[in-house]
Structure 1
Amino acid sequence: MPETPPPVPLPPTAPHPLIHRLVPSPAGRVHLVEQGRGPLVLLVHGFPESWYSWRHQLPALAAAGYRAVAVDVRGYGRSSRPAAVDAYRMLDLVADNVAVVEALGERSAVVVGHDWGATIAATSALTRPDVFRAVALLGVPYSPPGGPRPSEVFARMGGDEEFYVAYFQQPGRAEAEIEPDVRGWLAGFHAALSAGTMPAPGAPDPHFVGRGGTLRERFPAGPLPAWLGEDDLDFLAGEFERTGMAGALNRYRVMDRDWADLADREGAPIRQPSLFIGGGLDASLAWLADAVAAYPETLPGLLGSHILDGCGHFVQQERPEETNRILIDWLAALPG
């Protein structure tokens, strides 16, 4: 029998119910959570998250007159989890997004993504402009396809240490670190990347692994970030305790395949209306500063770029009210 999702309390002023659906996709099914009526806004999460990372945006977008839909990306939650690593390539995830739009009876959508979801959203807009009429990227800037092979880039980062993306490449390796204590690992991971709990400047960088070590060794051991309640962590940990981590981690293991799949799009801009929101304390902004500087060429339809001072990586959860205001103002300004 299908799993029954746990109840999620709604704000008392929510204008529409929160609806769980399973819709067909190329891999089998996508689990989504929907709220509101109006133009479709598709919300795509990153690692290691779920549809639940958009819990603050769903009621706000619904109240503003939009049909807000947050998905569990392939490999997460109640969506299909193919066994083959190759099934997690970017073009497959774009196909899942298109399938969701079609299953909901819509012809187009605005796509919004955070972390890996930002890259999925950007590639959806780049390769299927007939479906995705605008794109908002949270946390991770847009970098056009092309350049050196990703595995070679990541292998060179860190010197004697290992960058986390390279660490995630070998199937089973990161799973062996995370799965014996999913909740504890997720608590440390979120604390490491959030304002108020991330390591102080000069401390060992939690994005890197010492030779023979683990990521967790560098996570802070203090309290949870202010934005992450015990109930929120329980929900997230429960999802990964049920599914395991392989589906989520497989996204990192096909980056060279994505590089080859998108070779014909090298340097291609996204021309639809776009938006970027980043956290001022997010390491992604430092690593990808050149990508942000290139926005006039790579995102010619950019309508706004916002850096939230004092905010870490999880922008829509750390600063939900500010993120909601920026998103809703941007949506209202879109043509049509």
Structure 2
Amino acid sequence: MSHPPTTDPTHRLVPSPAGRIHLVEQGAGPLVLLVHGFPESWYSWRHQMPALASAGYRVAAIDVRGYGRSSRPEAVDAYRMRELVADNVAVVEALGEETAVLVGHDWGANIAATSALVRPDVFRAVGLLSVPYAPRGGPRPSEVFTGMGGEEEFYVSYFQEPGRAEAEIEPDVRGWLAGIYAALSADTMPAPDLPDPHFIARGGTMRDRFPAGRPAWLSERDLDVYAGEFERTGLRGALSRYRNMDRDWEELAEFDGAPITQPSLFIGGGRDASTTWMGDAIKAYPSTLPGLVGSHILEDCGHWIQQERPEEINRLLIDWLGRVGDR
């Protein structure tokens, strides 16, 4: 089977409710929109873009609002889910398409899932990396997170107070990023008998529990790219996503318990806390993801799944996209 030649990646700015969304586009064919998580950027898809383009797809990896060259609105509530869904729809329209396949990692998986729920007319299939789909429901999120950790503080609660995490991160963005990437990578994460970096000792910081060393997938140049973006933009926009979880819970009440019916895919890391903590959500997929085409757990893989194991992720994505087709 022959495919069109792969074009070089092209940077574009397109209009959106945020003001502008920066994206990097490559290839020709059915549109696949890639949505990154925290604390990353479009660059986290650098290994997937040429592979998907070579397989016959038009790939667009965005900077989520608050990141990179995309707009960074001032208001915290500008980062709620409904706004991020609207950005994704605007990107599809700006690229001259009516529908797209959506693939997200980490927070991007939640954004992708919500986009599929809210706009099934636009997003015809959804791939979720690292963070399983769990329908809206249960207690208010802040109440759940406050109850986690006992005497320690769960990182999501730590992130929710404006300015607090920024004060830890922004004096040494590069060092903090290197630490969180290492903390959640299979080859550098702390041993199970050491304190968990997802939790913060009272009066402490996340950085206190970050391991030394750099994961194999992260080159010095890669770290330079990520650090350069956040040194320029700061972390407020990125962290504002965490500061809208209760607001999302209120605004998305109509989707309480709702399944995602489009064709779907899940890929998780066997050593990723997002996968292990949410094991019940994965078990519930027959009812919550009735269109599930494939669910995969990559053994001895951490959280940064498409960067830790790019060839496997590329193979699974291309196989799934081929099975989804144009339906």
TM range (shorter): over 0.9
Give the Cα separation in 1 of the matches to 2:9 and 2:86: 25
Aligned-CA RMSD value: 0.7
Partner of 1:293: 283
Partner of 2:260: 270
SS at match of 1:168: helix
2:295 counterpart of 1:305: yes
2:32 counterpart of 1:38: no
Query: 1:53-101: CA deviations, max 9, x gaps?
Result: 0000000000000001000000000000001000000010000000000
Query: 1:272-310: CA deviations, max 9, x gaps?
Result: 000000000000112111100100000000000000000
| 1:271 shift after superposition | 0.2
Partner of 1:123: 114
Give the Cα separation in 1 of the matches to 2:283 and 2:96: 38
Partner of 1:9: none
2:55 counterpart of 1:55: no
Give the Cα separation in 2 of the matches to 1:215 and 1:17: 39
2:266 counterpart of 1:279: no
Partner of 1:238: 228
SS at match of 1:99: helix
Partner of 1:105: 96
| 1:146 shift after superposition | 1.5
TM-score by length of 1: 0.95
Partner of 1:5: none
2:234 counterpart of 1:247: no
2:154 counterpart of 1:180: no
Partner of 1:67: 58
| 1:188 shift after superposition | 0.5
Aligned residues: 322
Give the Cα separation in 1 of the matches to 2:219 and 2:166: 24
| 1:15 shift after superposition | 2.1
Partner of 2:123: 132
2:121 counterpart of 1:141: no
Give the Cα separation in 1 of the matches to 2:124 and 2:298: 25
Query: 1:204-238: CA deviations, max 9, x gaps?
Result: 000000000000000002x2100000000000000
**AA of the residue aligned to 1:299:** L
- In structure 2, the gaps of 5 or more residues are none
- In structure 1, the gaps of 5 or more residues are 1-13
Give the Cα separation in 2 of the matches to 1:183 and 1:314: 17
Give the Cα separation in 2 of the matches to 1:225 and 1:216: 16
| 1:27 shift after superposition | 1.4
TM-score by length of 2: 0.98
Query: 1:188-209: CA deviations, max 9, x gaps?
Result: 1000000110000110000000
Alignment of 1:158-197 (within 5 A): 158-197=149-188
Query: 1:118-152: CA deviations, max 9, x gaps?
Result: 00000000110000000000000001112110000
Partner of 2:16: 25
Partner of 1:224: 214
**AA of the residue aligned to 2:139:** P
| 1:335 shift after superposition | 4.2
Give the Cα separation in 1 of the matches to 2:165 and 2:15: 30
Question: What is the percent sequence identity of the aligned residues?
Answer: 77
Give the 4+ runs in structure 1 shifted more than 6 A. Answer: none
Give the Cα separation in 2 of the matches to 1:181 and 1:265: 40
2:76 counterpart of 1:85: yes
Would you say the 8 A contact 2:270–2:276 is kept in 1? no
Give the Cα separation in 2 of the matches to 1:15 and 1:39: 14
Give the Cα separation in 2 of the matches to 1:330 and 1:64: 12
Which of 241, 247, 253 matches 1:257? Answer: 247
SS at match of 1:281: coil
